Amino acid sequence: MAPSVGGMTNTAIITDTPLAPRTGRTAGRERATEQTSLITRPLLLRFVSIIGASSSFYLPLSVVPLYARSAGSDADAGLATGALLLATVAVELFTPRLVARTGYRIALSLGLLCLGLPALALLAPPNLAVIVAVSVVRGAGFAVVTVAGGALTASLIPPQRRGEGLALTGVVSGVPALACLPLGVWVSARWGFAPVFVATAAAALLALTVVPGLPDSKAPRRKPATGKPATGKPATGKPATGEAATGEAATGEAAHGILRALASPSLTRPAALFSASTMAAGVLVTFLPLAIAQRSAGVVTIALFAQPAAATLARLAAGRLGDRRGHTRLLYPGIGLAAAGMAAIAATGAPALVIGGAAVFGAGFGLLQNATLSLMYARTSHDGYDAISAVWNAAYDAGMGAGAIGMGLVTGHLGYPATFLLTAALVLVALIPARRDRRSASPRQRSGSPR
């Protein structure tokens, strides 16, 4: 949902290439407009690719655990989700190096292919080994799509409108979650698993059609016209020149950027507290369908719709509030809402509490999603966007994977209500890094204002 025309004062709606230079006040006004333009043609194309990738990810997210349980147990269901997300984390940390060597377009294309095509292997009868293998490959593809795409998106948003732009991006990515998460469960209940897996592959492949129109500014530069060798050495120890050296230098910088981000408390604190809420999200999408689907598939469908719907609306509100009043102020409310929502979901026999709890959890999740990402981008320079995207997405998926696998190991002993209550208690642990962040961060870091 794009901002209304009336609300975008002195802001161009769609831009493509800069106008020819002009002089005087007209040039000044145009420069100001260019600097604050939010919805550009490249960003619109990026939104199309986000919709395709998100649809491919969310359609089978709650369906694969059901498919896996038909071949095993609840632990196998958690393993399927956990394999997807832990593979995502492992590859996310290396994706900046891939982008540095190949550029955004090739990286996104590879990611979309790995995200979509393996789902077709699930058309065969359930087999846990195949399910885990497919989940691992899809997780790797999702890692590349999210990290490369996240950095590209951030580079297309004006710094002074970062919170609003990321919120709008959250809405675009939230709509597929809103529709596809419950839709996958509903379709599988009516027509079986096969239509879900075919649609999963199709969504990712259709997103490939817009990739050629996206910017590719991270592509390795060509050899300088002067023919002077670039700095750096290849594996052979011989001096590297031209394009190869540039690619290796960029790869090294990407690796160092991630290490610097991981060594910075001002960046790891927001990532850590956000991972607590994503841990709860992993529990919700994996075990809520298993907990009540046999009694009421309709409640599961509504709850899985309410959670991303609330998250999308909360993320949009968080962008505007954070840009005006500071993103750090949203951390405590986000944690509180996420914990309260998970506690309400523990009442698995009360449909109103399950649906309401999913919505409350979604609201807290949306606040944390936008606030933590905005804070992290604000605390680094443009050159560090790839590293920030990798670290934040790794925290996101590590939390979800840990929730799915960890709670899958105990839910057989505790039962689903106790598992949801334990998850709510673990979310509250995020208050510790949130409190430290408010104490340690500078005023600019607390507000999340651009560098």
Cβ contact 167:318 at 8 Å = yes
Give the domain CATH number at 360: 1.20.1250.20
Cα 115–chain centre separation? 14
Whether 152 and 214 have beta carbons less than 8 Å apart is answered as: yes
DSSP 230: P
Flag whether pLDDT at 377 surpasses 80: yes
Flag the least confident range among 17-26, 67-76, 203-212, 429-438.
17-26
Q: With beta carbons less than 8 A apart as the criterion, state whether 308 and 181 touch.
A: yes
How far is the C-alpha of 102 from the C-alpha of 83, rounded, in Å? Answer: 26
Per-residue pLDDT at 310: 93
Please give the average per-residue pLDDT across 5-33, as a whole number.
Answer: 39
**244 is written with which tokens?**
């190869």
Q: Find all residues with CB under 8 Å of 230, minimum gap 6, and list them.
A: 224, 240, 241, 242, 245, 246, 249
- AA identity, residue 384: G
Rounded to 5°, the CA angle 339-180-147 comes to 75
Look at residue 227 and tell me whether its pLDDT is greater than 70.
Answer: no
**Lowest-pLDDT range of 29-43, 262-276, 282-296, 356-370:** 29-43
The domain total for the chain is 1
Give the model's confidence band at 111: pLDDT under 50 very low, under 70 low, under 90 confident, else very high.
very high
B/e letters for 378-412, b = 16+ CB within 10 Å, e = fewer, are bbbeeebbbbbbbbbbbbbbbbbbbbbbbbbeebe
Residue 8 lies in a domain: no
pLDDT at residue number 238: 37
295 domain-assigned: yes
Q: CA–CA separation, 256 vs 391, rounded Å?
A: 13
pLDDT of residue 232: 37
Its pTM stands at: 0.67
CB 408, CB 82: distance < 8 Å:
yes
User: Range of 417's domain?
Assistant: 39-219+254-447
What per-residue confidence (pLDDT) applies to 254?
Answer: 54
DSSP assignment string, 36-65: H----HHHHHHHHHHHHHHHHHHTTTTHHH
Give the CA angle between residues 345, 349, 353 to the nearest 5°.
Answer: 40
In this structure, is residue 309 part of a structural domain? yes
**Does any domain span residue 164?**
yes
Q: 11 in a domain, yes or no?
A: no
For residue 19, tell me if it sits in a domain: no
- The single-letter code of the amino acid at 163 is G
Question: Is pLDDT at 92 greater than 50 in this prediction?
Answer: yes
CA distance 86 to 138: 11
Q: Does residue 235 lie within any of the structural domains?
A: no
Of the two residues 5 and 87, the one the predictor is more confident about is 87
Q: Are 287 and 416 in contact (CB under 8 A)?
A: yes
Q: Is residue 32 part of a domain?
A: no
| CA distance linking residue 363 with residue 323, whole number of Å | 18
Torsion from C-alpha of 437, 443, 448, 451, nearest 10 degrees: -120
